[in-house]
């Protein structure tokens, strides 16, 4: 008899939970340093990668619109009837 109960991946959950708690503790214990680090990262990303990110998003949107309006837009993934359309 097969059980439909899904097993939990305890190591994955544990590592993720520890990482989240560590980051949350560091952010709340050192708020000024956290804000300074966040501002430095934001400034670096927007100045260094700003144009590249905009071009990448434009290309991705173009690809999505092309796929939606081409013959590939009617491909159904799976056998079942769509649940929400």
| Residues ≥6 apart with Cβ < 8 Å to 63 | none
Q: Is there a domain that residue 59 lies in?
A: yes
Q: Is there a domain that residue 4 lies in?
A: no
Q: Is there a domain that residue 78 lies in?
A: no
Question: Residue 46: which domain range?
Answer: 31-73
**pLDDT digits 0-9 by tens, 20-35:** 999 999 999 999 999 9
Q: Is there a domain that residue 10 lies in?
A: no
Query: Please, are residues 47 and 55 in contact by the beta-carbon 8 Å criterion?
Result: no
**pLDDT digits 0-9 by tens, 60-74:** 999 999 988 988 777
| Total domains present in the chain | 1
Q: Is there a domain that residue 24 lies in?
A: no
Overall pTM > 0.75: no
Q: Rounded to an integer, what distance in angstroms lies between the CA atom of residue 83 and that of residue 85?
A: 6
Q: Is there a domain that residue 17 lies in?
A: no
Least confident of 1-5, 6-10, 26-30, 59-63: 1-5
* Predicted pLDDT at 3: 64
């Amino acid at each position: 008899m097969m059980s439909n109960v899904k097993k939990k991946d305890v190591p994955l959950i544990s590592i993720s939970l520890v990482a989240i708690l560590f980051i949350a503790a560091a952010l709340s214990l050192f708020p000024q340093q956290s804000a300074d680090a966040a501002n430095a990262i934001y400034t670096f990303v927007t100045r260094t990668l700003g144009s590249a990110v905009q071009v990448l998003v434009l290309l991705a949107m173009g690809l999505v619109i092309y796929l939606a309006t081409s013959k590939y837009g009617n491909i159904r993934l799976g056998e079942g009837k769509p649940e929400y359309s």
